[in-house]
Amino acid sequence: MEITNPLLLTVILINFFTLGSARLGACIRIVALQGALLALLPLAVHGFSLHSLVLFSGALLFKGVFIPLLLLRAIREVRIRREVEPVIGFVPTLILGVLMTAGAFLFADFLPLAVEHLDSLFVPTALATMFSGFLLLITRRKAITQVLGYLMLENGIFIFGVLLSEALPLMVEGGVLLDLLVGVFVMGIVMNQINREFSSINTESLTALKE
């Protein structure tokens, strides 16, 4: 389909934006946009069926609206705006992100893909988004950015899942999205408690438990 390639390219650009930005509010909003764009994919690939319409609205509501609102409320409550001092600086993270994306495209060429997916951007984008999510998880200190990394990882898996929608009945897709929403909700509560106990949500303060 014509529309999927620009969509997937935008998704990759959003990965870069998130890797390079320090402003948490902007990061949350842009990851929300990524989720909303992904919601369009089932429609673009499978056309207007009940399955893709439900998946579209579910993903749009959960990934594009509810989860970002939860996270925005969380950063308002703990009063933080910026991710300062990431473990690796923003520019090196960006460079790593570019390398990983290039790697994802090269790697996807070697995969034994089904004939209909040979020239599409789906698999490399899914891999690149997952890698970016991992990078975010590893290189940031704030609990909230780690949650964003987890969300991005899930987004990458969602892209891959669009190719396999016949294997994932609505009940399962719905359950997966619900798990994600409740998971982020619980993470938000835990984040709030971290802030109350340690007066910051830097996960560096979580180092008392070790051998």
**C-alpha span between 134 and 32 (Å, rounded):** 17
Q: How far is the CB of 23 from another protein (least distance, A)?
A: 22
In the complex, the smallest distance separating the C-beta of residue 101 from another protein, rounded to whole angstroms, is: 18
Q: Which is nearer to another protein, 16 or 160 (CB)?
A: 160
Q: Which residues bind another protein (CB under 8 A)?
A: 111-112, 114, 130, 137, 143, 146, 150, 153-154, 157, 160-161, 163-164, 166-169, 171-172, 175-176, 179, 182-183, 186-187, 190, 193-194, 197-198, 203, 206-209, 211
Which tokens belong to 192? 């709030």
Using CA atoms, how far apart are residues 112 and 173, in angstroms rounded to an integer? 26
In order of 7, 34, 122, 177, 178, the CA distances from 170 in angstroms are: 23, 22, 21, 10, 12
Nearer to another protein, 48 or 198 (CB): 198
In 3D space, the residue among 185, 184, 203 whose CA is nearest the CA of residue 138 turns out to be: 203
CB of 91 vs another protein, minimal distance in Å: 25
Least Å distance, CB 182 to another protein, is 5
Q: How much is the CA Rg of the chain, to the nearest whole Å?
A: 17
Q: Of the two residues 67 and 194, which places its CB atom closer to another protein in the complex?
A: 194
Residue (of 66, 46, 11) closest to 183 by Cα position: 66
Closer CB to another protein, 46 or 95, in the complex = 46
- Toward another protein, which CB reaches closer, 55 or 143? 143
